[in-house]
Amino acid sequence: MPPEGTWASSAGRRRNMQAIRSRDTGPELALRSLVHAAGLRYRVAAKPLPGMRRTADLLFRPTRVAVFVDGCFWHGCPVHFVPPKTNPEYWREKIGRNVQRDRDTDERLTGAGWLVLRFWEHQPPGECAGIVVQEVRQRRGVPAS
């Protein structure tokens, strides 16, 4: 059983939540594979700004492009998010903080001259990769092919 006052409602739920990946998810790997196949190189799970305690899923430092692949549950997708029935107040606040942090991250990076690209996990990887490749090449001054 989890300790008194913990966020997990049961030991099983706690194990399940701890097993959820924060990086190298299926949608993220699919996007990375396609972007790499297009000839672009990037950093994975890297901090865009010094001292910033947030990481981008793909980071193109020279062109200042930060890419995030947001999970529908954790980031409150307007299409697919379904609030849990257990402990709904906790989850409403938790997801709300995640969304608020995403907006703050976007503002801070944009203010520092970065282009922020955000995709939902349900978006087709090929479509997302096409946008990433186009934006990075454009910022590099490479004509569209």
Q: Can you give the pLDDT of all 145 residues of the chain as single tens digits?
A: 445 555 556 676 566 555 565 678 999 999 999 999 999 999 999 999 999 999 999 999 999 999 999 999 999 999 999 988 988 999 999 999 999 999 999 999 999 999 999 999 999 999 999 999 999 999 999 876 6
Helix, strand, or coil (residue 102): helix
Q: What is the CATH number of the domain that holds 86?
A: 3.40.960.10
Could you give the C-alpha distances from 113 to 19, 49, 62, 64, in angstroms and in order? Answer: 35, 11, 11, 7
Judge whether 10 and 2 are in contact, CB under 8 Å.
yes
Whether 118 maps to a domain, the answer reads yes
Task: Give Cβ neighbours of residue 76 (< 8 Å, ≥ 6 apart).
Answer: 95, 96, 98, 99
Whether 12 maps to a domain, the answer reads no
Whether 15 maps to a domain, the answer reads no
Whether 108 maps to a domain, the answer reads yes
pTM, two decimal places: 0.84
d(CA 5, CA 66): 37
Residue 26: give the domain boundaries. 22-140
Domain tally, the chain: 1
Determine the pLDDT at residue 145: 63
pLDDT in tens, 30-51: 999 999 999 999 999 999 999 9
Whether 96 maps to a domain, the answer reads yes
